[in-house]
Amino acid sequence: MVLEVAQIDVKPGMEQDFEAGVAKGVPIFQRAKGCMAMELQRSIELPSRYRLLIRWDALENHTVDFRGSADYQEWRKLVGHCFAEPPAVEHMNKVVEGF
């Protein structure tokens, strides 16, 4: 399993629009090949900064299957206009499980 961590800074004043767009996009991720879970977290210290966390079965489910899909284009239409800059995306593997 791979965890996608996207840091997304939105334009000030666009926070509600962005959150609404992400909520509308939930079905897109529910039907995406290999997508197991997604959630959005908002920074307390920097309220225009978010972390979108998505669990994929495999890296290619995100980088090939999802990014190459029409659903990806729909996702960008829902939220892309809110971005202050392109999201910073990393893919993570769990190496230690605590409790």
| pLDDT tens-digit series, residues 40-78 | 999 999 999 999 999 999 999 999 999 999 999 999 999
In a domain, 7, yes or no: yes
- Could you tell me the CATH number of the domain that includes residue 62? 3.30.70.100
State the residue range of the domain holding 24.
Answer: 2-92
Tell me the sheet residues that pair with 91. 4
In a domain, 99, yes or no: no
> pLDDT digits over 9-46, tens only?
999 999 999 999 999 999 999 999 999 999 999 999 99
Q: Residues for the chain: how many in total?
A: 99
In a domain, 97, yes or no: no
Number of domains in the chain: 1
What are the tokens at 28?
């897109």
The pLDDT score that the predictor gives to residue 26 is 98
Average pLDDT value over all residues in the chain: 98
Give dist(CA 15, CA 27) in Å, integer.
20
Query: Nearest-CA neighbor of 84 among 7, 5, 8, 4?
Result: 8
In a domain, 73, yes or no: yes
In a domain, 98, yes or no: no
In a domain, 32, yes or no: yes
